[in-house]
Amino acid sequence: MGRRGFAAIVIAAALLATGCSGQDQPEQQATGPVSLTFWTWAPNMDKVVALWNQKNPDIKVTVNKQDGGDPAVTKLLTATKAGSGAPDVMQAEYQKIPTLVAAEALADISKDLDPAVAKAFPEAVWGGVTLGSDAVYAVPQDTGPMVFYYREDVFKRLGLQVPKTWAEYAEAARKIHQADPKQYLGTFSAADAGWFAGLAQQAGASWWGVDGQSWSVAIDSEATRKVADFWGGLVEEGVIGNKPMYTPAWNAGLNNGTQVGWVSAVWGPGVLEGNAAKTAGKWKLAAMPQWDAGKEATGAWGGSATGVTSQSKHAVQAAKFAAWLNTDPEAVRALAQISGVYPAATAGQTDALTTPPKFFANQPDFYQTAAKAAGTVAPFTYGPNVNVAYNAYNDAFGKAADTKKKSAFLTALTSMQATTIKDLTDGGFTVAK
């Protein structure tokens, strides 16, 4: 015995002590300081989070900057599968939430959230984080209601009215292209499935649906066909472009005046400023052209929410932070002004955004028009295999846009629907016919 026995007792006691504290962890940490990691790609988010860290020394949040939505989701899914490596808090685009929930990457935080949080957001936006259930998988952060940007100078020169309906849009596209064969009012982008989904949303489509315990897929629906037919027609006529957006060629087109309109979302000014600095002050924002004059509706392109991952050991604190970030007036103002996002919180849209973005200094009512659009976003349900459907869109519509045939656009839609359903049934989901 002697010294060695004593050492053994000390070690055993130490092990016991740590073992106990390990079990008591949740209670201890409810009061003790914790640190959380936050994966996000919104610019300057660290500065917004600094406000939180100042006020909440007990819950320190560290921002881990990500490359963008898709790579971050891939990393999170991998970490979930591996059982470790996920952050506590995660920025996730709305269309990725069903996928993340299905993969058990996001935690249900309905118990940890104040019920009043739901009231801060428009109903359609809130539906995107609950997936129509009692669970809450994230707190909405920003939204991307779709709007229409156009070059005011070009419209004035040609004596054109801002299109109120899609028929007028088509007419304007024809006139602009006739006046200058190099100029286009827009392009059909086969690389941006989210953009097309937003257009379908405006027309009244909802690509997925829940029917009891089975999913339904309505990509190839009346409403979407109307949209595909319209854009396919314009491409076939040759009055709008057929090249994808965000290519060097498209960026150059915005700047050199060959792209004089852009069907996009409220976050557009950032893109325009980055790519078309030469045209500052010449653009204007308008509501989306409508299918039925007098009926106001729009879709959403982009937008994300703040979720708590299933691996977080501090879900309570993480949920508290997510709620603060997206509902606290100071945080929302910082999000809008420092990080440049269009906040999802209804109050934030009018209180935090009073002056127009620098690039749109010529349009004082920029955010009033945007807020009006935000109020007209049509409901839309995303499914558990959005990634597959979007991928099918890229492949099928890429071919269709290249052939410049209207009929090919409708075939592409059929193929997209078939691919999406096949993937669901292959994965073992029940799909309602």
Interaction site with other proteins (CB under 8 A): 70, 74, 77, 98-99, 101-104, 108, 131, 133, 135, 190-191, 210, 213-215, 242-244, 246-249, 252-253, 258, 384-385, 387-388, 391, 394-395, 397-399, 401-402, 423, 426-430
Strand partners, 138: 307
Residue 295 near residue 308 (C-beta atoms within 8 A) = no
Q: How far is the CB of 225 from other proteins (least distance, A)?
A: 21
Q: How far apart are CA 399 and CA 409, in angstroms?
A: 9
Q: How far is the CB of 278 from other proteins (least distance, A)?
A: 15
Closer Cβ to other proteins, 24 or 104, answer by number:
104
Q: How far apart are CA 416 and CA 402, in angstroms?
A: 17
Closer Cβ to other proteins, 247 or 407, answer by number:
247
Q: How far is the CB of 388 from other proteins (least distance, A)?
A: 5
Residue 344 near residue 143 (C-beta atoms within 8 A) = yes
Tell me the torsion sign for CA atoms 309, 310, 314, 315.
positive
User: Which runs of E-coded beta strand occur in 297-402?
Assistant: 300-308
Closer Cβ to other proteins, 131 or 266, answer by number:
131
Helix, strand or coil for residue 432?
coil
Strand partners, 150: 261, 284
Q: How far is the CB of 256 from other proteins (least distance, A)?
A: 9
**Distance between terminal CA atoms of the chain?**
76
Q: How far apart are CA 169 and CA 162, in angstroms?
A: 8
Closer Cβ to other proteins, 51 or 410, answer by number:
410
Closer Cβ to other proteins, 150 or 208, answer by number:
208
In degrees and rounded to multiples of 5, residue 256 shows phi and psi of -95, 5
Q: Which pair of tokens denotes residue 82?
A: 């591996």
Q: How far is the CB of 163 from other proteins (least distance, A)?
A: 25
Q: How far is the CB of 277 from other proteins (least distance, A)?
A: 17
Closer Cβ to other proteins, 327 or 381, answer by number:
381
Closer Cβ to other proteins, 80 or 202, answer by number:
80
Residue 388 near residue 422 (C-beta atoms within 8 A) = no
Q: How far apart are CA 423 and CA 385, in angstroms?
A: 8
Q: How far is the CB of 104 from other proteins (least distance, A)?
A: 6
Residue 357 near residue 269 (C-beta atoms within 8 A) = yes
Closer Cβ to other proteins, 170 or 245, answer by number:
245
DSSP string, 153-207: HHHHHTTPPPPSBHHHHHHHHHHHHHH-TT-BS-B--TT-HHHHHHHHHHTT--S
Q: How far is the CB of 38 from other proteins (least distance, A)?
A: 23
Closer Cβ to other proteins, 130 or 346, answer by number:
130
Half-sphere exposure of 100 (CA within 13 A, CB side): 36
**Cβ atoms within 10 A of the Cβ of 291, count?**
17
Q: How far is the CB of 130 from other proteins (least distance, A)?
A: 11
For the chain, give the number of residues: 433
Tell me the torsion sign for CA atoms 293, 296, 299, 300.
positive
Closer Cβ to other proteins, 98 or 163, answer by number:
98
Q: How far is the CB of 208 from other proteins (least distance, A)?
A: 10
